Amino acid sequence: MMSMVRSEFRKVTTTKVLLWLTIAAIAFSALNVVLLVFLTPRAMDIDPELNLLLDPAYVTNILGAAGSSSIFILILGIIGMTSEYRHMTITSTFLATPKRPRVLIAKGITYAILGAALGLIAFITSLAVTLIALMSDEHAPVDIVTALQILGGVVLAFAIYAFVGVSVGALIRNQVAAIVGALVWVLIVEALLTVFVDWIGKWLPGGALNAVLQTTNVTGRGGEDILPTAIGVVVLLGYAVLLGLLASLITLRRDIT
Amino acid sequence: MSPKGEVLTVTSLTKRFGKVSAVQDLSFTVQPGRVTGFLGPNGSGKTTTLRCLLGLVQPTSGRAQVGGHDYRELPHPAAIVGAALEASGFHPGRTARGHLRVITDAAALPAARADEVLALVGLTEAAGRKVGGFSLGMRQRLALAAALVGDPGVLILDEPANGLDPEGIAWLRNFLRARAEEGRTVLVSSHVLSEVQQTVDDVVIISKGRLVQTGSLDELTSAGLIQVRVRTPNLDVLRAALVAEAGSTSVNIFDVSPDEVLVSGLSAPEIGNLALSKQVELHELTPVGTDLEALFLELTAGGNPGGAA
């Protein structure tokens, strides 16, 4: 399994996809920090009493913007699997490792590690941009303990989410269909379900992701409508494993022609 | 000491895609130490058969095994079987060396093997270039390098001569011959008989997913399926000698022009030998690949010798 994971790392480091998605994740995290620092508090300028930058909780939670780049992590996992089918490199992959579920496991491990690394990068980006953006303003201090919790949440959430992406890609082998399907699910289907069916939202992948990130949105932390973090980890990991098992039973065993 | 070849066994192999039968009740064996040509027109089921052998396609029924085992059960497949299936299985953004390193990693082979096989197929100069910019011939060489990376005893190559220049084809011929002489199993598919007939010892010919003919190339030659083009200014003398020779075997002579004939039933060396003994001057002596399409028409018309019912 070690050699297969090494091979998967080689695959991802010999192409450009990881670089582009890392840049996208950094840019998106930074953008969200900038929006949180400059737009939301300024909207409150009408009432100086409401300057959110003086609220320690608000200031610390700006770091949660790291989690906003989660969609790129999902896409990274999806591309990691589907590009094998797209470029037909799946042939040499399965020739080297004919027991196909092992390929899926190796990819899951590899992309979980990559996801964790990107979570760390996104967090560092958020922290750096937050500190720079706040320099010119009077603001409350960043709470270290909460910041570390956010870091842990982002690293864990991105690790599992990348694995979810791999499983989605294994189930939907067409790269465009898998990415579009995932975007439609995350941005439309899940959003609508969450709005119209009260109890269901927190159990969906996005809800579980938020539970691991410990955030309902980038400005709020925790609350009634998300699962406890530990349960969130189990549910999100459950989706990754379930989709991977489905793929093993249905698409992964299909003929490679 | 090179790795030993394995016997490839295809037993009553049938593969249907939906309602289409790609391969039907196909049986043959491929022996180590010989180069075996796997021949048939495009769409005859060659690639499907090879993919069944390699565990990429699940047979509908029957078996396709390497050394008595399913490919998926092989403990260390890259060291036993090397396969080059098509020129399209590359990530265009990856370099030639990167492509091979992915495989050496996955198969737990020394990283140095990547550069060794690149040198072997003559791609050292292009090792650091992206495969997206490769010509078809270079892709074929890279696919061959990938097949060789585990130094396997069995080589399975699907149309390896496609896109190679004449020099490359000559090189490939010698290369495959040398592998077979080391005792390895070499199975090469082609839809052009002339492309392989100078290389192969044995042939397996299929059409529409069924076996048409299997045996050694010599048997095929004596069955009149391969012709030799002969040009000579002394055609009458040679013809007389050929007819005399025809007493023992079935030799056919087709007139092409006043100084040129197509001979079937005798190999080029046999005709050359005959010409020498009669002191006939030869201007050309070329084995002509009977066009496979024509060969199949001939075989079908002739009652499908040796084929499946």
> So where are chain B's domains?
8-215, 227-288
To 10 degrees, what angle do helices A2-13 and B96-106 make? 160
DSSP three-state, residue A93 = helix
Instruction: Give the whole-angstrom CA distance, residue A140 versus residue A13.
Output: 41
| Chain B contact probe: residue of A95, A254, A257 with most B CBs at under 10 A | A95
Q: Give the confidence band of B305 by pLDDT, cuts at 50, 70, 90.
A: very low
Q: What is residue B302's predicted lDDT score, i.e. its pLDDT? A: 41
CATH class of the structural domain B227-288: alpha beta
DSSP three-state, residue B262 = strand
Sequence-distant (≥ 6) Cβ neighbours of residue B118 within 8 angstroms:
B96, B97, B100, B124, B126, B127, B145
Tell me which of B176 and B253 has the higher pLDDT.
B176
Order of strands across the sheet that contains B8-17: B20-30, B8-17, B61-66
In the predicted structure, residue B272 carries a pLDDT above the cut 50: yes
Which ranges in B18-129 belong to alpha helices (H)?
A: 46-53, 77-80, 96-106, 112-120
The structure tokens listed for B259 are 């100084």
Q: Is B51 left (phi over 0), alpha (psi -120 to 50) or beta?
A: alpha
The structure tokens listed for B185 are 């199993």
Instruction: Give the whole-angstrom CA distance, residue A73 versus residue A156.
Output: 12
In the predicted structure, residue B193 carries a pLDDT above the cut 80: no
> If one looks up domain B8-215 in CATH, what number appears?
3.40.50.300
In a domain, A124, yes or no: yes
Strand partners, B154: B81, B185
Beta carbons of A156 and A97 less than 8 angstroms apart: no
In a domain, A199, yes or no: yes
Q: What is the pTM of this model?
A: 0.83
> Taking residues B47-75, what's their average pLDDT?
94
DSSP three-state, residue B24 = strand
Cβ-defined contact of B77 to A98 (cutoff 8 Å): yes
Instruction: Give the whole-angstrom CA distance, residue B278 versus residue A100.
Output: 64
Per DSSP bridges, beta strands B185-190 and B154-158 are parallel
Comparing A110-114, A212-216, B221-225, the range with the smallest average pLDDT is B221-225
Which range of residues forms the domain containing residue A74?
Answer: 2-249
Number of domains, chain A: 1
In a domain, A35, yes or no: yes
Beta carbons of B230 and B260 less than 8 angstroms apart: yes
Q: Is the dihedral of CA B67, B71, B76, B82 positive or negative?
A: positive
Give the other-Cβ count within 10 Å of B142's Cβ: 26
Share of chain A above pLDDT 70, in %: 92
In a domain, A111, yes or no: yes
Half-sphere exposure of A245 (CA within 13 A, CB side): 6
Beta carbons of B173 and B199 less than 8 angstroms apart: yes
In a domain, A257, yes or no: no
Closest residue in chain B to residue A82, using alpha carbons only: B91
In a domain, A254, yes or no: no
Check if A91 contacts B (Cβ < 8 Å): yes
| Chain A contact probe: residue of B85, B105, B134, B154 with most A CBs at under 10 A | B105
Answer yes or no: is the ipTM higher than 0.90: no
Closest residue in chain A to residue B107, using alpha carbons only: A96
In a domain, A131, yes or no: yes
Cβ-defined contact of A95 to B78 (cutoff 8 Å): yes
Strand partners, B203: B37, B215
Cβ-defined contact of B86 to A253 (cutoff 8 Å): no
